[in-house]
Chains A and B, each alone.
Chain A
Amino acid sequence: MISRSYLAIITSLLLALMLSMLPLPDWANYARPDLLTLVLIYWVMALPMSIGVTTAFVFGLLLDVSQSTLLGHHALAMIVVIFLVQQLYQRIRVYTLVQQAMFIGILLIIKQLIVLWISGITDNAPDTSLYFLPSLAGAFIWPWLFILLRDYRRRFCQTDHH
């Protein structure tokens, strides 16, 4: 049986996936933070034993379908980032929110680099200096997202401590 907390986690991830398709004005679309990866990073940090690379793979595939990219394109990048988070979660947890935001910015850049690299192999990769704007935006919103998700977790996943 799927527990209540799993249901809450999956709901938040689906919501993040949905928001990644939300129509934005053109300028904002270039800086759209990668919410799905951010939310996934949060859950891995909070519950590293229950959320991990398999979840990253499944949601990466769903992101690939919604973005019409090659199946496995975002999935691969997300697996690598989530693996790093699972190795380092104890360290990230003790950082201050600003330090966390910077660290997560670096993780998001790693993810974008992998995505860019695969695009370069298969298609025409975009060549613009604005390409890493979503990572900066993601790092910027992290502190707020963290607090939001922490409250969400405390409300819906009471059984899990920390």
Chain B
Amino acid sequence: MVEMNALFQTRASLLARTIILIIFSVALMVADHRWHHLDKFRHTLSNLIYPLKYVINIPAEILESTNQSLTSHEQLVKENEQLKLDQLLYQARLQKMDTLDLENQRLRKLLGTPKKTSERVLIAEIFSVDQDPYKRLISINKDRDDGAYIGQAIIDANGIMGQIIHVEAHASTVMLISDSNHAVPIQINRTGLRGTVFGTGDSSMLSLRFIPHNAEIKIGDVVSSSGLGGRFPPNYPVGVISKISRPAGETFADIEITPSAKLEQSREVLMLWHNAPTDTYGLESPTKQ
């Protein structure tokens, strides 16, 4: 009889505990979604996650290092030669760029609109960990101590990749531009037409929306960031228009864009400092449409 009572008591308290925890989770979600007050709490919890992430990443790291040590001398010499050639080429281009940059600044000074000089850059490495397959998120190995902040733009050698959405312990989470919750303000290089490029969840395709049928666009147009909104620095390539269809009866054209950055292949990415805030946690998440 006593045992029975104990059993019923635990059942009742179990229900109460469940309800309290459910209310608590809902409150957490609302606080996290609406006000972003929980970044510090997330940061604390991520201290527990980091060792797991680190261990999961070890096999990929070993694979890469053995790959490197197994490369033949011949191959290395060949690669070295190629890199030297590339460097020469880029250096020649940079010489011209330097003079152009100086000229540009001089002209801007004359106009009275001084341009900000070049941005600070840091290389980060991507962790080989998987996340929700329906989201396009990656994890990089830089955190607040390296200056990472929420909303920081991430690029690779070819174009814009995404932005940091969470700064954790020893790691940060980056939302790629192909995530279906992501949008980048852009302009078309040839015509200066402005618009917004949305992710589709598919990393080989982005979508340029809200462009009317009669807009001046064609396949092959290069699309780059416009810098509007202040999140991404202007004039970094986003992609190339690969398909245009103008369905009758629809207000806007369907425009597909192939991203310039290698969203699924890069192992190293670049972090850009552009409009960096003074307080890491103070920024709102920019990704809400």
Contact = CB atoms under 8 A, between A and B. Distances in A.
Interface string A94-106: 0000000000000
A159 interface: no
B181 interface: yes
Contacts of A21: 52-53, 56, 129-131
Given A66-B49, A79-B22, A18 B42 contact: no
Given A62-B45, A65-B49, A22 B56 contact: yes
Interface string B12-30: 0011011001101111110
Contacts of B133: 26, 29-30, 32
B137 interface: yes
B128 A68 contact: no
A108 B138 CA distance: 26
B168 interface: yes
A52 B14 CA distance: 9
A81 B128 CA distance: 30
Given A62-B49, A124-B181, A68 B131 contact: yes
Contacts of B38: 71
B173 A68 contact: yes
Contacts, number: 114
A21 B49 CA distance: 10
B8 interface: no
A18 B56 contact: yes
A93 to B, nearest CB: 16
Interface in A17-61: 17-18, 21-24, 26, 29-30, 32, 49, 52-54, 56-57, 60-61
| Tier of interface size on chain B | 35 or more
B106 interface: no
A39 to B, nearest CB: 14
Contacts of B21: 53-54, 56-57, 75, 79
Contacts of B132: 67-69
Contacts of A157: none
Contact of B18 (A24, A61, A73, A83): A83
B102 interface: no
Given A53-B17, A76-B25, A80-B22, A29 B130 contact: yes
B33 A70 contact: yes
A106 to B, nearest CB: 19
B180 interface: yes
B89 interface: no
Contacts of B45: 61-62, 65
B33 A68 contact: no
B197 to A, nearest CB: 15
Contacts of B28: 61, 70-72, 75
Contacts of A70: 28-29, 32-33
A31 B211 CA distance: 37
Interface of A: 14, 17-18, 21-24, 26, 29-30, 32, 49, 52-54, 56-57, 60-62, 65-73, 75-76, 79-80, 83, 86, 118, 122-124, 126, 128, 131
